[in-house]
Amino acid sequence: MPFDVDAIKRELQSAPPSADLPPATSVAIVSDTFRLAGLVPPAPRSWEAWRRRWPRAEELLGEIARTLAVSSMRVETIRALETGRPGAKGVLVGFFESIGPLTAEMVRENPFRQEEFVRSWIAACGGEVAGETAARSAERLRQLDYRRALGEYDKAEAARKAEAARRAQLLREARERAEYAKGWRE
């Protein structure tokens, strides 16, 4: 059964405000989800390596654990993982790599970042989104990609700075021409 992204978002919105889960609790919730799907959860040294590799891994793991605990995403994750998709390590590595610069606060506060977060988990688990083709799901995730938005912002900011520099140069040249012409008129 495919993941119902809209239902998951509604469930998250109706859940009580979240407090940060202790890291051990987050690991336990995610590991239990893998166990229920018949997968061996990652070893403790893997969790430590991920915390070093992705600075926000711990807080984002807490957010995924919360999402699994308060929404239907846990049941659907188990179903998706039972179909023989990537192992637990593959799911988590793919997930952490896909959510890049997101923070737990962004996920909690911004509906677009929350949707990106949920869809990234679904993609990492090899799941399907209800009512969408695989191509449509991938396109929607691409549209939501925060890294892409940051890249577009950086390009726009560079273009704005280049335009400002060009205008400043044109103003300098105009002042120089005016000064030069002023000498001829006197």
**For the segment 62-71, what is each residue's pLDDT rounded down to a tens digit?**
999 999 999 9
pLDDT of residue 153: 64
DSSP code, position 55: T
CA distance 21 to 16: 13
55 versus 4: which is more confidently predicted? 4
If you write DSSP's letter for every residue of 64-116 in order, what string do you get?
A: HHHHHHHSTHHHHHHHHHHTT-S-HHHHHHHHHHHHTT--HHHHHH-HHHHHH
For 129, the 3-state DSSP assignment is strand
pLDDT digits (tens, 9 = 90+) for 89-143: 889 988 998 887 888 888 888 999 999 999 999 999 988 999 999 899 999 988 8
1 versus 76: which is more confidently predicted? 76
Stated pTM of the model: 0.77
Q: Give yes or no for residue 151 having a pLDDT over 70.
A: no
pLDDT of residue 74: 94
DSSP lists the bridge partners of residue 3 as: 129
